[in-house]
A and B are shown apart, each in its own frame.
Chain A
Amino acid sequence: MQFNPIAFVENLKYMCIGMLGVFMIVGIIIIATYSIGKICGDKSDKE
C-alpha cells in the first residue's frame, strides 16, 4: 500500500465522466418513462 496524493487529481476525470454518464443515462430513462406514460395514457387522478 502506497500513499500517492497525486492519484486523487489523476482520477478526477473518472468522477467527471462517471457522473456525467450516470446523469445522461438516467436522463434517457426519465424521457423513456415519460414517453411510456404518454403512450399508455397514464393520467393524474387526485392530489
Chain B
Amino acid sequence: MQELLKLFEPILEFTKDGNWKMIIMWVIGATLIYLAIKKQMEPTLLLPIGFGAILMNFPGTGIAEPLETLYNAGIANELFPLILFIGIGAMIDFGPLLNNPKMMIFGAAAQFGIFFTLCMAAMFFPPEVAASISIIGAADGPTSIVVANTLLGGTEHSGYIGAIAVAAYSYMALVPIIQPPVIKLLTTKKERQIRMKYTQSSVSKTTKILFPIIISIVTCIFVPAAASLIGFLMFGNLIRECGVLDSLSDTAQKVLANLITIFLGITIAFQMSADKFLNTSTLLILGLGLIAFIVDTAGGVLFAKLFNVILKMFKKDPINPMIGAAGISAFPMSGRIVHKLGLEEDNQNFLLMHSIGVNVSGQIASVIAGSLVLGFFS
C-alpha cells in the first residue's frame, strides 16, 4: 500500500508547489488542440502550439532545452517565418490583382487596425510591446512573429511573444466569425447587393514574372525594413511564375511550407510556460488583437464607402464596399467571406475575383505596415 502511495507522491508535490498555473496551461493547450481538430481552426499551427504548450508545462522534464534550441535556430533569427514566406509566395496567384491593380488601395486601407491598436496598446504597454501587439492586426502570422521577435526578443518583454503569436493565429482562424457582423453593421443591404463588373484581362507571363521582381525592388528602395519579408515572399512567387521551376514551386508550396509549419508551431510553444503566459497582460493582448481585427475590417469597409462617394462625383459605377474588408491579410478566408456575403444578399452577385485581388494586396500591404512599425521602434 505504501509503495502505491509513493506513486502518487509526485502528484501531491506537484499540486503543493502551487503548480496550478501549469494545469491551466494544459487546459489551454488542450483547448487549442480541440479547436484545431474538432473545429479545424488553423490546425497546422494551433495543434503544434497546443501540444507544445502542454509539453512546456511539466516541471523538471528538460523539454525546454530542445525547444529553446529550435527557437534560437529558427525564430530568434527569424529564419522560420522567412522560409515560410517562400512557401506562401509560391501559393499566391497575383493574377486577380494584376488584372485590376487599383484594388490594391483597399489592401492599404485595411491596415488601419494596426496603427489604431498601436495607439490603444500604448496606453497599457511600453512602446515596443505596443508595436508588437499592433501587428496582430496584420492578420499575418509570420509578420507578427518577425516584428514581435525583432522588437522583444532577448529583452525583459520576450514573454509576450508567445501570446502575440497565439493571438495572431487564433484570430486568423476566427476571421469567418469576426468579419461578417462588422461588415453587416457598417453596410446596408442595398450596398451589399452592389454588383461589380469583372473585366477578364490577359495578363502576360512576362508581367507575372516582372511583378515579384519590381515589387522587391520598390520595397528595397522605399521600405528597406520590409526587404527580407517581401523579398522571400516574392522569391516564392517568382519560382511559381517563371515556368521553369515547377518542381521547386511544388516543393515550396507543400513540403517546405509544411516542414517549417511543424517546427514553427511547436517552437512558439517555448514561450508558453505558465510563468510567462498566465497574467493579465496576456488577456489584454488577446483583447487588443481582437480590436485590431475589427478595426482593420471596419477601416477597409469605410474606406470603400468613401471611395464610392468619390466615384459618384465622377459618375462612375460604385464598388461593393464589402470588398474593403478583404484587405486584411488573412488569405484566402477573407476574400471568400466577402464573396459568400455577396451571394447571401443576391445569388448572382459574384465578388470573388475582386475580393481575392484585394485579399492578396492585403498580404503585401500588411508586410509594408509591419515593416514601417519596425522602422518606428527598432
**A residues apposed to B, CB below 8 Å:** 1-5, 7-12, 14-15, 17-19, 21-30, 32-34, 36-37, 40-47
Q: Indicate if the CB atoms of A18 and B376 lie closer than 8 Å.
A: yes
B178 interface contact, C-beta 8 A: no
Interface residues of B in 174-233 (CB under 8 A from A): 197-204, 206-207, 210-211, 214-215, 218-219, 222-223
Q: Indicate if the CB atoms of A1 and B104 lie closer than 8 Å.
A: no
Centre residue among A1, A4, A33, A44 by max chain B CB count within 10 A: A33
A40-B372 contact, Cβ under 8 Å, with A1-B125, A30-B102:
no
- Can you identify 20 A-B contacts, CB atoms within 8 angstroms? A1-B125, A4-B123, A9-B119, A14-B376, A15-B115, A18-B373, A19-B115, A22-B368, A22-B369, A25-B219, A26-B104, A26-B107, A28-B218, A29-B215, A29-B364, A32-B215, A33-B97, A33-B98, A34-B101, A43-B201
* Residue of chain A at shortest CB distance from B217: A32
CA of A32 to CA of B122, assembled, Å? 36
Q: Indicate if the CB atoms of A32 and B200 lie closer than 8 Å.
A: no
Q: Indicate if the CB atoms of A1 and B280 lie closer than 8 Å.
A: yes
Please name all residues of chain B whose beta carbon is closer than 8 Å to the beta carbon of A46 when the two chains form the complex: 199-200
Centre residue among B203, B222, B372 by max chain A CB count within 10 A: B372
A47-B207 contact, Cβ under 8 Å, with A1-B280, A1-B284, A37-B101:
no
Interface size of B as a range: 35 or more
B111 interface contact, C-beta 8 A: yes
Closest chain-B Cβ to A27's Cβ sits at a distance in Å of 8
CA of A12 to CA of B123, assembled, Å? 12
A36-B207 contact, Cβ under 8 Å, with A18-B369, A22-B365, A26-B104:
yes
A11-B198 contact, Cβ under 8 Å, with A1-B125, A36-B214, A40-B204:
no
Please name all residues of chain A whose beta carbon is closer than 8 Å to the beta carbon of B222 when the two chains form the complex: 24-25, 28
Closest chain-A Cβ to B211's Cβ sits at a distance in Å of 6
What is the count of residue pairs linking A and B with beta-carbon distances less than 8 angstroms?
A: 132
A8-B218 contact, Cβ under 8 Å, with A21-B372, A30-B105:
no
Closest chain-B Cβ to A20's Cβ sits at a distance in Å of 10
* Residue of chain B at shortest CB distance from A10: B122
Please name all residues of chain B whose beta carbon is closer than 8 Å to the beta carbon of A4 when the two chains form the complex: 122-124
CA of A21 to CA of B115, assembled, Å? 12
CA of A45 to CA of B201, assembled, Å? 5
CA of A37 to CA of B202, assembled, Å? 10
B91 interface contact, C-beta 8 A: no
Q: Indicate if the CB atoms of A7 and B368 lie closer than 8 Å.
A: no
Known: A7-B122, A11-B118, A22-B369. 15 other contacts (CB 8 A): A7-B119, A11-B127, A18-B373, A18-B376, A19-B108, A19-B112, A25-B218, A26-B364, A29-B215, A32-B218, A42-B202, A42-B204, A43-B201, A44-B200, A47-B200
Q: Indicate if the CB atoms of B112 and A3 lie closer than 8 Å.
A: no
B76 interface contact, C-beta 8 A: no
Closest chain-A Cβ to B111's Cβ sits at a distance in Å of 5
CA of A4 to CA of B368, assembled, Å? 28
Please name all residues of chain A whose beta carbon is closer than 8 Å to the beta carbon of B112 when the two chains form the complex: 19
> Which of A8, A18, A34, A42 interacts with B114 by CB under 8 Å?
A18
* Residue of chain A at shortest CB distance from B127: A11
CA of A11 to CA of B128, assembled, Å? 12
Q: Indicate if the CB atoms of A19 and B111 lie closer than 8 Å.
A: yes
Q: Indicate if the CB atoms of B207 and A42 lie closer than 8 Å.
A: yes
Q: Indicate if the CB atoms of B111 and A36 lie closer than 8 Å.
A: no
CA of A23 to CA of B299, assembled, Å? 13
> Which of B109, B120, B372 interacts with A8 by CB under 8 Å?
B120
B33 interface contact, C-beta 8 A: no
* Residue of chain A at shortest CB distance from B116: A15
Please name all residues of chain B whose beta carbon is closer than 8 Å to the beta carbon of A23 when the two chains form the complex: 105, 108-109
Q: Indicate if the CB atoms of A11 and B119 lie closer than 8 Å.
A: yes
> Which of B118, B123, B127, B203 interacts with A15 by CB under 8 Å?
B118
> Which of A2, A22, A33 interacts with B108 by CB under 8 Å?
A22
